[in-house]
Structure formats: C-alpha cells, structure tokens
Amino acid sequence: MSLPKDFLWGFATASYQIEGAAETDGRGPSIWDTFCAVPGKIADGSSGVVACDSYNRTSEDIGLLKSLGATAYRFSIAWTRIIPLGGRNDPINQKGIDHYVKFVDDLLAAGIQPFITLFHWDLPDGLDKRYGGLLNREEFPLDFEHYARTMFKAIPKCQHWITFNEPWCSSILGYNTGYFAPGHTSDRSRSAVGDSAREPWISGHNILVAHGRAVKAYRDDFKPLQGGEIGITLNGDATYPWDPEDPADVEACDRKIEFAISWFADPIYFGHYPESMLKQLGDRLPTFTAEEVALVKGSNDFYGMNHYTANYIKHKPGSPPEDDFLGHLETLFYNKNGDCIGPETQSFWLRPHAQGFRDLLGWLSRRYGNPKMYVTENGTSLKGENDMSLEKIVEDDFRVKYFDDYVRAMAKAVSEDGVDVRGYLAWSLMDNFEWAEGYETRFGVTYVDYVNDQKRHPKKSAKSLQPLFDTLIKKD
C-alpha cells in the first residue's frame, strides 16, 4: 500500500470561512455577507466578518502549514477583493490582487504548492442584484471568465487551478432548499423568491458553461507559458443499497451519485447530462447548445473530489415531486438489517465510513476513464467538540482515526485498484465559519479561539498527517 513519490498533501480552506477583514483594502460585499445579515439564516447569528482573521495573518498561517509538514495548500480567492462589484466592466481592485500574489509567493518560498479555487460560493453581491447572478445564462459565464483571466494573469506561478467548488451546493442549497446564500426556495415561509423545481438546474448549467469558458481561456492564453493545470471540484457521498436484494435500491445507489456528481461530471467528460436526470427532470434540465458542448466537454485537466461520508440508499415508489433533487430516493444511516454506516458527528449529514471513500474513488475512476484526481476536501466534525475544554479539543482522537482510515482507504484505491490520485487536502486547516452552522461546528485540525484574538492551537490530528504520509509515500 503506497502513494507515488510526488504525491502532494496538505490542507484546504475557503475565503469567506477564514479571511475576515470584510471591508479591508476595498473588498466588496458577497452574497454571503447579505445572507448572514438576515435574521435566522445562520445558526448562531454570526457571519464571516472576522472569522479567523486570516487575511491579516497569512504569515502565521503559512508558518502553521510549514510546521505540520504540508506540501500543498488549497485556498480560495474572494472575487469581491479582486472586482468588488464583480462584472467585466467594473473596476479592478489592485490591493486585492497584490494580497494574493504575495500570499502565493510566500507559500512557494515555504515549499508549499498552492491550489487556488476561483469560486467557493462567495459570489459578488453586485452581480446577484444586477442580473440574478448564477441564474443568468448570458452574463454570468462572461463575468466569471473575465475574473478568471484576471487571476491567471496576476498569478502565473500557480500550477493548480480549480474553477468552482461544489457546484451542487451552490445550486441545490442556494436555489432549492434555500439553506445557503442567496437563499432562494419555493418555500415562501423562508424566501420571497425562488423556484425549487427549476432554478437549481439553471444555476448548475450556467456554472458548467462558466467553468468551460474559464478553462478555454486558461488553455488558450495562459497554459502554454505557465504550464499549469485546471479542473473543477465536485462533491459526493458513497452509496450502498438499503436492501442489497432489491434491484430498485441497487439502481438507486448509482442514481444518487449521478444526481450529485455526474450532473456536472458527465457533461465535462461526455458532453451531456446523465440519462437518469433527463428522465426525471425532462425540460426543466437546460439543453446544451453546440457552442456550450464545445466549451464544456473535455474541460478538466484533473478531477477534484470532495468527500466526507456514505449512506444507505432506499428507492421511493411512485412519481417524484417537482422539487426533488436526490433522484427520488431516501438517504439513510441504517440498512434493512439495522446495520449503522458509522458513528455520529456534529454534522447531521456526516458519518465516517472509510470503505466508501475507496469504493467511490473506484466508481469515479471507472466511469470517467481513470482521470487524474486530487482529493480536494476530506475531513470530519466531532460531536460536541465546540462544548469541550481546550484540553479535550486538542486531543481529537476521533478525527485522527478518521484521517488514518480514510487516507489508508485512498492509498489502497491507488495501489490496489489503480485509481490515479495525485494529492490529498484535508478539510480543514483550522476551525472556521461553517456556513449556515456558523461557529457551532468545528472541522479544523487547528483549534481557533474566536474569543481570544483568533489564537491558533494545533490539535492532535494536525500533527498526525505528516507521519501517516511519510509511511505511505514512496521514497525513491
């Protein structure tokens, strides 16, 4: 069981979750600033206004990464620091560009490879108000391409670019359930606007086209000189049938992955949406034009994989409601025999099941022709962690075991199953603003004391990864 000698590993974060400095150096508001200001949207009424104050602590964060032995760091750029209003004809903010240029230079000087995500959900609020943001098929892809070009030009030293993080979350949680910004949903008790049956599919389509435009721009005008690579990061869970003897449950397992991952990956690798989605959604799923197919198909130099958990899947009889987004099925933690998929965490949706990681890596590798892959997020919360003493929090043996089990499962997928994984980025470098859950849930390998000046305290899990990877990565 081993990993290739040039295997990269490290940690991941996102701009709105850690940076803070919401009004520093010309940053404009994002949809998350607006969403957090609405009472009741965030569990503890908080926001990312201060977060971990990482914008002002880049040297401290790099020092932390170096002390942990990381060889890679995935972070995202706040679009509103670069173009505060967001659009291709709006002013560019040089101070924002300068901040990230220096950060990349400092990371490279420390021997750490940057993985830059261009979009981790914090859309400029100006674009949402101007033309509906992700729902605009004409304007959004052009504005995203312009923003992407601005970054490619500014940071030629970056060798690993990610266009979008988890477009499923932007589309479903932003435009179906309303759980995430901008909060659209058909439930009028939660939002005055939204069409849960149609808007998520429109949003997802426009993200794919924007991704395709950015990739074409990079390949045409920057990659020949810079020599880097570009891809997208998709999220999805492993699936097992609730009743292995029921063909409908077995079939539903693939359908669940198709509605989560293949929704975006099939157009990128095959040029069309999955048949299961076309069958259920009909004309609510947008149709690709010939020009869009040319942009999207083949637009991945690598596949970015975010993965956390697994479920038992039970099919549903009858016809799906219009606002269904799972593929007409139930996701469960117990199967027909009463077996539990894994222990509880602080996150209602997350239970560790490391074999699922290996199985899903194999599923993706088989379906998409053994693509080069990076695991761009993987990690766990810990039940009740936020209520523990600091002494207990830093002894996070549950998280240590999670990483050990999952990384070894990945190594088996590589060495025994032939899956082409080139890097692993643990979520997350530090506790942070956990979106709608605010600061009540912690995913970090480093404890952040939000009360006492955001002071960082590495947990046991932070120090566990270097020795683990030292045993797995080939030396010669």
Please, are residues 378 and 406 in contact by the beta-carbon 8 Å criterion?
yes
Does residue 377 have an active-site annotation?
yes
Residue 448: exposure state from Cβ atoms within 10 A (0-12, 13-18, ≥19): buried
Local structure of residue 231 (DSSP, 8 states): E
Residue 378: exposure state from Cβ atoms within 10 A (0-12, 13-18, ≥19): buried
Residue 363 has φ and ψ, to the nearest 5°, of -60, -50
Please, are residues 36 and 426 in contact by the beta-carbon 8 Å criterion?
no
Point out the catalytic residue in the list 19, 145, 166, 292.
Answer: 166
Q: Report d(CA 474, CA 476) in Å as an integer.
A: 6
SS3 of 74-137: the string is EEECCHHHHCCCCCCCCCCCHHHHHHHHHHHHHHHHCCCEEEEEEECCCCEHHHHHHHCHHHCC
Please, are residues 403 and 414 in contact by the beta-carbon 8 Å criterion?
no
Residue 461 has φ and ψ, to the nearest 5°, of -65, -35
Point out the catalytic residue in the list 377, 385, 434, 437.
Answer: 377
Does residue 19 have an active-site annotation?
no
Q: Give me the active site residues, please.
A: 166, 377
